[in-house]
Chains A and B, each alone.
Chain A
Amino acid sequence: MLEATLNLKLLEMCSKCGACFSICPSCMHIPGYDPRAVINDILDGNYEKWLTSRHIWQCLECHHCLEICYQHYGFENAMAALRTIAAKRGIHPTQLKRGWEMFVKTSRLGEPALPARKKLGLPEPKASGADEFKKLLSLLKEKREKKKK
């Protein structure tokens, strides 16, 4: 599964580099956050233990590592791959899941605040694309089920 989402050759270069460690805000300010350890474990085949770790969610997706990286790769790819695997197994922060559920149900992460809009003299909000969006999600689901068969 990992091989499908990560370029192991690039990760191998990371294991010898670590340049982005010094620009990564989470590395600087969150004790124990160290993608270098994660990368080494992935290369050693020991990534399982990271799936339940808080650290993989503490990557802020700020893309600093991506931009400073001589391969335009970035620690973030390792963290994102592990998050994807963890989420597939149902391991994720509760708030994240709540957000996801709201998104699937309403197509948004919150509805326009109508009373406040009125007070500010803002126009009626435009119609959302919720119906079409839901149809698309169910088409996606169908397509996946067909593929499985």
Chain B
Amino acid sequence: MKEFAVFWGCTIQARFPFIEKSTRIVLEAFGLPYRDIDGFTCCPEKSLVNNIDHAAFVLTAARNVALVDELGVDLVSPCTGCVSNLATVKCELNANPKEKSEVNSLLKEVGREFTGKSKLHHLVPFFHDAVGILAIKQRMKRDFSGMKIALHYGCHMIRPSHALRNDDPLNPQKFDNLIRAMGAESLQFLTKLMCCGQGLDRIDEHDKALHFARIKLRELKSIGADALVLCCPSCFLQFDNNQFLMEKEGEKFGIPVIYFTELLGLSMGYTAEELGMTAHRVEVEPFIKKWESMADRPPREEAIEAGLNGPNLIG
């Protein structure tokens, strides 16, 4: 496997260092050739930067990509927004030689060059494609059979598809495949692909942001989801933090929000504490408790066997 740099992004490092923790744990456990590199800045965040100054948006992203281009490594990020923004700019520049040479004429003055050669991956499709389901199954100590998981892809893991080109943008499968490989049921529900709505919190519309979270959480509660699993710090903020705020106001959903790397870590035998999950605002206890109680049940094969050969209708 080609070496890759991890792009942590601002939000994970500033607000959710425990996500970095669980990500490092699984990268190490799989023995993946990752490294940390100097010099990254904000990806930059699209709504804040691109709306105000498109050229600054492009230039900043191009510089970040140039850092991995120069080292001849690829880039993997556990942040959905970061990958999408970097990939969008890379695609724009690769398709637009004039703009690319303008950007490079500025980058040259600080000794950098954007070639656009390195590959940029989101952690989830990267695990699906490069690590592979077989390798995951081999390292798992205990699966999640019997658990009902609701997935939230996060818009920018897969869209815009012309830039990311990693899954079907309107009917994605890879995250589902991973969850199923871990033995859980991946629930199919109406709001599965609906945007989390966290963006509304960035434009002074907190009530509307809460409302967007509420729509999905309500559905999840009604279909009996054991957890909402995702891999994006913005979506995490929306469903963990904003759910907590609604709970404080008396609106209880009780849906634990679990990062992909945390779920993977649990299945490999790490504890919720080791993975930093105790830092979540919405309790993850109910999920862990139910999962632990499942361990006492006989494995599926045995249960079926018992049903067939044990006492039955005929006697």
User: A residues near B, CB below 8 A?
Assistant: 25, 29-30, 54, 57-58, 60-64, 66-68, 72, 80, 83-84, 87, 92-97, 99-100, 103-104, 107-113, 116-117, 120-123, 125-130, 132-133, 135-137, 139-140, 143
Contacts and interface: CB of A to CB of B under 8 A. Distances in A.
B91 to A, nearest CB: 13
A140 B211 CA distance: 40
Given A29-B212, A60-B155, A67-B169, 15 more contacts: A57-B203, A61-B47, A61-B155, A64-B155, A64-B159, A68-B170, A87-B52, A93-B205, A95-B201, A96-B51, A107-B60, A110-B10, A129-B39, A133-B60, A139-B106
Nearest to B276: A120
B146 interface: no
B63 A136 contact: yes
A127 B37 CA distance: 8
Contacts of B14: 108-113
Interface residues of B, number: 64
Interface string B182-221: 0000000000011101011111110010011001000000
B155 A58 contact: no
B163 to A, nearest CB: 10
B224 interface: no
A103 B170 contact: no
B40 A25 contact: no
A66 B170 CA distance: 10
Contact of A126 (B37, B200, B204): B37
B273 to A, nearest CB: 11
A120 B17 contact: yes
B48 interface: yes
B77 to A, nearest CB: 14
Given A66-B159, A110-B11, A136-B59, A96 B48 contact: yes
14 contacts: A25-B195, A29-B197, A60-B155, A64-B155, A64-B159, A64-B193, A96-B47, A99-B45, A99-B202, A103-B49, A127-B39, A129-B38, A129-B63, A132-B39
A117 B13 CA distance: 8
A132 B110 contact: yes
A25 B51 contact: no
B294 interface: no
Interface in B21-69: 21, 24, 36-42, 44-52, 54-56, 59-60, 63-64, 67
B15 interface: yes
Nearest to B195: A62
The secondary structure that dominates the A interface is helix
B37 A63 contact: no
B166 to A, nearest CB: 13
B165 interface: no
A72 B162 contact: yes
B161 interface: yes
B45 A60 contact: no
A62 B39 CA distance: 29
B44 A60 contact: no
Contacts of A104: 56
B79 to A, nearest CB: 12
A95 B63 contact: no
B41 A130 contact: yes
Contacts of A109: 10-11, 14, 42, 45, 48
Contacts of A128: 39-41
A26 to B, nearest CB: 8
